[in-house]
Amino acid sequence: MSVDRAAAGTAEVGAAAEGGAAAGLGRAAVVFTGGTISMTVDPVAGGATPALGGDALLASVGASPGGLPAPVVVDLGRTPASHFSFDDLLGIARTAADALAADPALVGAVVVQGTDTMDEAAFTYDLAWHDARPLVVTGAMRTSDAPGADGPANLRDALLVAGSGAFRGQGCVVVLGGQVHAADAVVKMHTSAVDAFASPDTGPIGRVDGGRALLLRRRVGRRSLPERLGPVPPVGLVVAAIGLDGSAIDACVAAGAAGVVVEATGAGNTHPSLLAAAERAMAAGVAVVLASRVPAGRVTTGYAFPGGGATWARAGAILAGRLTGPKARAALSLGLAAGLDRDGLAALLDDPA
């Protein structure tokens, strides 16, 4: 995917405004990128394929009891979320930020995308988001032609959150299934259920009920990066499992990775051979981060047997706090692009105080 902001163009959608937008709620930028929400089942292809653009999706939203912000559309095409690169994600975030910078009257921005990588994409946006107005990410678990399609309700809820002053200062949030999740906490927990997203450590920070966006609690700190980043370097992700040695870490280093994230078992424990490979990587100047393959809980130094979390920390690995492996990889990749040293990377990956 290549994001061409100059060619994308913006337009206020009158049909959607007539279907439930209220002038008193202002206007919100809506950046469309594709995903299941835009797909229909193609019997020739044998599955779901991209079909609908932003205007068609907004036409399906319908009314909300209290009205909706009028959408200002930026259509970037129909890219499956599994195809995104970090450059693509940073381009999407810049597109939303540019739309808000060009019009201070906009109340917030919505990004509509696929759910496959939504949790790590939202976290990437959050790292790069510097506007007090909310950036709301949404999509759908069912295609637009499926019975009980969830896309219209999710898009309506996302607009409500974007237009709510309560969510100013909350950075990037994910809205699906009536819940609002902080970008650093949300995890996709199911391959197909409409309530696939959860925040297993903290729970949602808000919900949408009866046409109202409700903030249940405010986020405690946020990770952020400078607005200007250099090229994003390659960073590997290695999962620890029974019988696996450190060869995958060695392969990442041989391929030119500037960093490696290891998803350990439990609270941060691996076979000693993975630690030995990580020590070789760090000796070669490669940044190594220790995360957990468990979707909830922190990586800790509670275990000191060979390969335990304490031995990783003593060897110089950076602990990822509560971040999942993919999110730790996003933070490490962008932190390296920002030129952060080891202390800066450790501060970025640690849980906000």
Q: How many angstroms from the chain centroid is the CA of residue 227?
A: 17
Output the pLDDT for position 64: 72
Find all residues with CB under 8 Å of 18, minimum gap 6, and list them: none
Q: pLDDT (tens digit, 9 = 90+) per residue, 30-45?
A: 999 999 999 999 999 9
Q: How far apart are CA 1 and CA 14, in angstroms?
A: 28
Q: What is the mean pLDDT of residues 272-296?
A: 98
Per-position b or e across 35-62, b if 16+ CB within 10 A of its CB: bbbbbeeeeeeeebebbbebeebbebbe
- Percent of the chain at pLDDT above 90? 87
Q: What is the mean pLDDT of residues 99-128?
A: 98
Output the pLDDT for position 314: 98
Output the pLDDT for position 169: 97
The CA–CA distances, whole Å, from 116 to 37, 127, 182, 191, 234 equal: 12, 19, 17, 8, 21
Q: With a cut of 70, say whether residue 13 has pLDDT above it.
A: no
With cut-offs at 50, 70 and 90, classify the pLDDT of residue 352: very high
Q: With a cut of 70, say whether residue 130 has pLDDT above it.
A: yes
The CA–CA distances, whole Å, from 168 to 3, 65, 192 equal: 26, 22, 31
Find all residues with CB under 8 Å of 127, minimum gap 6, and list them: 223, 224, 225, 330, 331, 334
Q: What is the mean pLDDT of residues 289-302?
A: 97
- Percent of the chain at pLDDT above 70? 93
Q: Which of 60-64, 179-183, 215-219, 310-314 has the lowest mean pLDDT?
A: 60-64
Contact 240, 267 (CB under 8 A): no
Q: How far apart are CA 97 and CA 332, in angstroms?
A: 22
DSSP state of 340: -
With cut-offs at 50, 70 and 90, classify the pLDDT of residue 24: low
31 forms beta bridges with 74, 111
Q: Helices in 84-144 by DSSP H: which ranges?
A: 86-102, 118-128
Question: What's this model's pTM, rounded to 2 decimal places?
Answer: 0.92
Output the pLDDT for position 63: 66
Q: With a cut of 50, say whether residue 9 has pLDDT above it.
A: no
Q: pLDDT (tens digit, 9 = 90+) per residue, 166-191?
A: 999 999 999 999 999 999 999 999 99
Q: How many angstroms from the chain centroid is the CA of residue 123?
A: 4
Q: What is the mean pLDDT of residues 331-347?
A: 98
Complete domains list, the chain, with CATH = 5-215 (3.40.50.1170), 235-349 (3.40.50.40)
* Residue positions annotated with a catalytic role: 36
